[in-house]
Amino acid sequence: MLKWNTPARIAIVALAMTCGYATPVVAGEMRVSDAEAFRAAVDAASPGDTIVLADGEWHDFESVFQGEGEPGRPITLRAETPGGAVLTGQSRLRLAGRHLVVSGLVFRDGHTPSGEVIAFRRNSEHLAHHSRVTGVVIDRFNPPERAESDHWVVLYGRNNRFDHNHLVGKNNAGVTLAVRLNTEDSRENGHRIDHNYFGPRPILGSNGGETLRIGTSHYSMFDSLTVVENNWFERCDGEVEIISSKSGGNLFRNNVFHESRGTLTLRHGNGNRVEDNVFLGNGVPNTGGIRVINQRQVVRGNYLEGLTGYRFGAGLTIMNGVPDSPVNRYMPVADVVVENNTLVDVDHVELAAGSDAERSAVPTDTVFRDNLVRDADDRAVFGIHDDIGGIGFEGNVATPAVAAQFGGGFEAESLVMARAENGLLYPSDPRWRGKGASPDLVVTPRDATGVGWYAKPDLGDAGTRPVRRVTAAEGELFDAVVAAAPGDIIELAPGAYRVQKLLRIDRPLTFRGAAGQERPRVRFERTALFELVPGGRLELQSLDIDGAAAPDRAGNAVIRTQRSAMTDNYSLALRDVRIANLDVNHGFDVLAVAKGTFADAIVIENSVFETISGAVLALDVERDDLGLYNAEVIDITGSRFTDIGGPVMTVYRGGRDESTFGPRVMVAASTFENVGHGARNRDHASITLHGVQRVTIHDNGFTASAPVRVVETVGEPVTRVFDNTLDDTGEPVIGPLETS
């Protein structure tokens, strides 16, 4: 029931249904502190009323906020103090009706029990219109399984606004914010999505990691007329599409894309505008800009700098289309205008991208004018993949190597540039005024997005990290792990460690031997030494690890992920580590992972691996051919592998999906001796790669080892294997997937 510990400033409004009072005579505020009182207040609310959620935790709170406000007299639902009401556990919010406003709530420490955290509808019959969600936080509100899909916010209805919200850390499958056009009264909706802070979203490792999607291919012939402006997209790395626009008539204006891996993609639908946006990649891998498909799109006045992405993830991509394309493939580009954009140190611009037997329709009736392209190293950054006779180039200016790629339409100029007060680069020579982005472009400040009362992630370095010193005395290492804070370094004094309990890693931790001293020797008595659980990141330095004390059973590992799926990504680094004697039984791996787990990066440097019955890195458990895989980047350098029964690594990514950048694999300056001959090594390979997007294997020595085997699948994979020496080892076997 209601608790009437009401501050004087809150007028008491009668609740006719539940409390026997009369209908409210004065519009006012109703403070509620439990779900039942909330429901009663919603039922009783009239235009102009405010329902105040008491500060504190609202656990398993499935709220429906349905009502009919009036223009200028909305019904408001707000936290008692901004950020004070925290929805945890299995909570969600549905809005339905008209002229509703929600503000000040935080969703944290839980996940939605349905497919949506905040929905602008109660069900398919009752939608929200003219309603607003503002100043709301959703922070890592994720289910335990990364493959379990949900959307954090879904806009239905018309004329809704989603602004000044803070959305950070969506780690599972599903779009962060979706606009649906699935019913007639959700089309031509005029929604406004503005001043939101879309914070870091880690790499998902499959399709379905978009931060914003407007429409779906099925309804893409309809206009959405949604405005997306003044938002920040920071490290939104979920997949190749940061924004997937799949409808017509949308406007993307004055947004900032900061170090985000992916692009704003005009995937389906016509007549969209992308204007005055700022893309800053800072050289981060796979940072991209704008990808253009379909007709009557306008890309004007944007500023793009320091973007490294290529192919569909380039700074600017104009695609080839499919003749008579089905709605879910690629409509040809036609009647597109690309003008007054500035591209500074953008590594790749792709024209007629994706040209192949299916995507054979080249761009037509398209103009590319008054753009400014400057590359500090004077590289030819345009990739031209088909006939671009249908693109008219006029009045552009570019550094000489770019200009030389075209017969006309570009002036060659070294382009001296200086940073203006808005932080962007402009040519110093007034002759080029009118080319590229406008000097009047206002870059949306980060502080103007999200909310002031909930801290944005600190993206800087963590600074000096505390060191905890332990000795080989029984239990000391285990106790240090339990007590460590995230980011701590646990330094092992020299000695023989015997670890009797599994070390569970649920936070970033580094284990290292002390510099300049004899390396600690670690044995373990369980089936694994380390188990990575959600939140864990592990780095090992200058240690000797020996598997001889592990139980005599198959399938041990030095490091394993928990046996169920994890939504949090982990990472692993081994530096100057020696791992040996993993041979008490078969299938003893260095790293073994569970389905539904994902590593951002696995790095092995200057390390030694000897006498191992299984694999060093077993990353091949996603066998459903759905485009899923287990690690984004695997990088091995300067290491030695001797007497390894399994492959040094096996990486598997199956299926035809093209939504991911990874996996990427690099192996360099390492030696392999008697690797891959184990009876249980199915592929009889020293390295087994399937569906890896970028492979670089160079300057390695292979002796008496099984061959490297690479199966190439989708996405124009790049496989570079060179300058390796092969002694009593077969040539690398590299080829496309054989389809039957």
For binding to Ca ion (CB under 5 A), which residues are involved?
A: 207, 241, 659
Dist CA 109 CA 466 (whole Å): 27
Beta carbon nearer to Ca ion, 597 or 660:
660
Coil, helix or strand at residue 356: coil
Beta carbon nearer to Ca ion, 69 or 313:
313
Residue 455, φ and ψ in degrees, nearest 5 = -65, 135
Instruction: Give the alpha-carbon dihedral of 177, 182, 184, 189, to 10 degrees.
Output: 10
Q: CB of residue 209 vs Ca ion: minimum separation in angstroms?
A: 7
The H or E element spanning position 483 is helix 476-483
Beta carbon nearer to Ca ion, 207 or 250:
207
Cβ atoms of 243 and 228 within 8 Å: the answer is yes
Q: CB of residue 237 vs Ca ion: minimum separation in angstroms?
A: 13
Q: CB of residue 175 vs Ca ion: minimum separation in angstroms?
A: 9
Q: CB of residue 327 vs Ca ion: minimum separation in angstroms?
A: 16
Beta carbon nearer to Ca ion, 177 or 451:
177
Q: CB of residue 207 vs Ca ion: minimum separation in angstroms?
A: 5
Dist CA 210 CA 227 (whole Å): 17
Q: What one-letter code names the amino acid at 218?
A: H
- The reply to whether omega before 400 is within 30° of 0 (cis) is no
Q: CB of residue 359 vs Ca ion: minimum separation in angstroms?
A: 17
Beta-carbon contacts of residue 223 (< 8 Å; ≥ 6 apart): 187, 188, 247, 248, 249, 269, 271
Q: CB of residue 484 vs Ca ion: minimum separation in angstroms?
A: 38
Strand 137-139 with 166-168, pairing: parallel
Beta-carbon contacts of residue 579 (< 8 Å; ≥ 6 apart): 544, 545, 546, 547, 558, 590, 607, 608, 609, 610, 612
Beta carbon nearer to Ca ion, 207 or 224:
207
Neighbours of 438 (CB within 10 A): 17
Q: CB of residue 323 vs Ca ion: minimum separation in angstroms?
A: 23
Dist CA 270 CA 295 (whole Å): 5
**CA dihedral over 4, 9, 10, 12, signed as positive or negative:** positive
Beta carbon nearer to Ca ion, 91 or 207:
207
Beta carbon nearer to Ca ion, 183 or 217:
217
Strand 85-90 with 105-111, pairing: parallel
Beta carbon nearer to Ca ion, 328 or 500:
328
Beta carbon nearer to Ca ion, 150 or 241:
241
Residue 477, φ and ψ in degrees, nearest 5 = -65, -45
Beta carbon nearer to Ca ion, 263 or 659:
659
Q: CB of residue 244 vs Ca ion: minimum separation in angstroms?
A: 6
Q: CB of residue 239 vs Ca ion: minimum separation in angstroms?
A: 5
Instruction: Give the alpha-carbon dihedral of 422, 428, 429, 433, to 10 degrees.
Output: -10
- Tell me the Ramachandran region of residue 20: left when phi exceeds 0, alpha when psi lies from -120 to 50, beta otherwise: left
Beta carbon nearer to Ca ion, 650 or 659:
659
Coil, helix or strand at residue 402: helix
Beta carbon nearer to Ca ion, 241 or 339:
241
Q: CB of residue 326 vs Ca ion: minimum separation in angstroms?
A: 17
Q: CB of residue 659 vs Ca ion: minimum separation in angstroms?
A: 5
Nearest partner of 208 among 176, 182, 236, judged by Cα: 176
- The distance in angstroms from the start CA to the end CA of the chain is 66
The H or E element spanning position 719 is strand 718-722
